């Protein structure tokens, strides 16, 4: 009886086949698991008379071995097929990698740096968290000068929630880098100071609590206002096209004397007057002037021997003029629909 069952199962095992790994697992369970048919025969084996035990035992072991071998064979077949399917095709065209885009402010900042580097300016960097001395004190702001308020400075509280007077602040212009350069280097000095600045303003389409500046400083013997004008005209033509004109209007900054604000001919209407330039044909782009002798002296530079000019512009403002970005907030919202428009730059 047991022999017949063994023969019968042996036949089944020889023909065992499976179309996939699940079917194969079903077969393993059917024959070899704890409740499997082959395992059941092993249980019956206990009843076999002693004189037949040897022969039937061998048959049973053979049956189990054949089942195991067949199952392993099938398993290997599936694995080989799977590996074949997953084989790398090195000749396949690769999926395109989505490249990021340059931020418009970076593009414009680099363009400004590039233009000034061609006339000998090098880049200088400084900290964003500054002290009063470098941002205001050495730049000829009197101790109670309202410009500290005028520029809506963010002061850093030494103890949280306690608004004690403090001289630690977020720089409100990168002129602070210029004071650092003047106190650590000897003239001739020709530096460009790009960087982020902070002012306590309500965020709107036209104002933000941080923005970016590029300021410039040139100190040497006999530097004149004409040199300043020439450098700024060169910059404006390079940045906005050869037909660009400039106009300097008298202004006031504590650190320059005389001081001026510079307009360029409106690059939208070409100077004939449009809604962008409010019909005037001019748009303001930067502040500038001759470095005040008090500033030179405060930084340890002999104002009788040396003179210099300085200028400062907002990168957002220049970007606006170049790319017509109407809302300042777009620059810091990281909306890829906006950023992607600068893909080809």
The SS3 call for residue 9 is helix
Tokens 């003179």 belong to 307
* Residue from 173, 110, 101, 162 nearest 136 by CA: 173
Q: Contact 124/113 with Cβ under 8 angstroms?
A: no
CB of 253 to ligand PHE, least distance (A): 5
For ligand PHE, the binding residue among 182, 282, 312, 316 (CB under 6 A) is 312
Q: Binding to ligand PHE by residue 244, rule CB under 6 A?
A: no
Rank residues 175 and 179 by Cβ distance to ligand PHE and give the closer one. Answer: 175
Which of these segments, 56-64, 119-127, 155-163, 281-289, binds ligand PHE (CB under 6 A)? 281-289
Q: Contact 252/239 with Cβ under 8 angstroms?
A: no
d(CA 22, CA 226): 87
Which of these segments, 26-34, 126-134, 287-295, 316-324, binds ligand PHE (CB under 6 A)? 287-295
* Residue nearest ligand PHE, Cβ-based: 312
Question: Which residues partner with 297 through β-bridges?
Answer: none
d(CA 87, CA 144): 75
Q: Binding to ligand PHE by residue 315, rule CB under 6 A?
A: no
Q: Binding to ligand PHE by residue 180, rule CB under 6 A?
A: no
d(CA 250, CA 228): 14
For ligand PHE, the binding residue among 223, 289, 317, 325 (CB under 6 A) is 289
d(CA 29, CA 40): 12
Question: What backbone phi and psi angles, to 5 degrees, belong to 295?
Answer: -70, -45
CB of 147 to ligand PHE, least distance (A): 10
Show contacts with ligand PHE in window 192-221 (CB under 6 A): 215
CB of 135 to ligand PHE, least distance (A): 10
For ligand PHE, the binding residue among 175, 244, 265, 307 (CB under 6 A) is 175
| Residues shown for the chain | 345
Q: Binding to ligand PHE by residue 288, rule CB under 6 A?
A: yes
Q: Rule CB under 6 A: which residues touch ligand PHE? A: 173, 175, 215, 253, 256, 287-289, 310-312
């Amino acid at each position: 009886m047991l022999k017949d069952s063994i023969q019968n199962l042996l036949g089944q095992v020889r023909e065992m086949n499976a179309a996939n790994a699940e079917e194969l697992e079903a077969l393993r369970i059917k024959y070899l698991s704890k409740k499997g048919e082959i395992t059941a025969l092993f249980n019956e084996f206990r009843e076999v008379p002693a004189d037949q035990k040897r022969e039937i035992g061998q048959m049973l072991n053979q049956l189990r071995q054949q089942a195991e071998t067949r199952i392993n064979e099938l398993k290997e077949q599936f694995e080989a097929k799977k590996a074949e399917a997953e084989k790398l095709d090195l000749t396949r065209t690769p999926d395109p990698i989505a490249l990021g885009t340059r931020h418009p402010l970076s593009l414009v900042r680099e363009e400004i740096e590039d233009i000034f580097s061609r006339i000998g300016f090098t880049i200088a960097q400084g900290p964003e968290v500054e002290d009063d001395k470098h941002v205001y004190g050495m730049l000829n702001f009197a101790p109670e000068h309202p410009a500290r308020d005028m520029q809506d400075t963010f002061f850093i509280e030494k103890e949280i929630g306690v608004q004690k007077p403090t001289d630690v602040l977020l720089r409100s212009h990168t002129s602070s880098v210029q004071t650092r350069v003047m106190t650590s280097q000897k003239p001739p000095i020709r530096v460009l100071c790009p960087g982020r600045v902070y002012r306590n303003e309500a965020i709107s389409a036209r104002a933000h609590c941080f923005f970016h500046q590029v300021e410039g400083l040139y100190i040497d013997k006999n530097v004149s206002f004409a040199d300043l004008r020439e450098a700024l005209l060169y910059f404006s033509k390079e940045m906005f096209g050869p037909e660009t004109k400039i106009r300097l209007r008298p202004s006031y900054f504590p650190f320059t004397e005389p001081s001026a604000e510079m307009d360029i001919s409106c690059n939208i209407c070409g100077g004939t007057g449009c809604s962008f330039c409010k019909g005037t044909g001019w748009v303001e782009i930067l502040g500038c002037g001759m470095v005040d002798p008090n500033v030179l002296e405060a930084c340890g530079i002999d104002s009788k021997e040396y003179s210099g000019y300085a200028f400062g512009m907002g990168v957002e403002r220049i970007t606006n003029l170049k790319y017509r970005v109407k809302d300042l907030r777009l620059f810091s919202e990281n909306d890829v629909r906006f950023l992607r428009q600068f893909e080809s730059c």
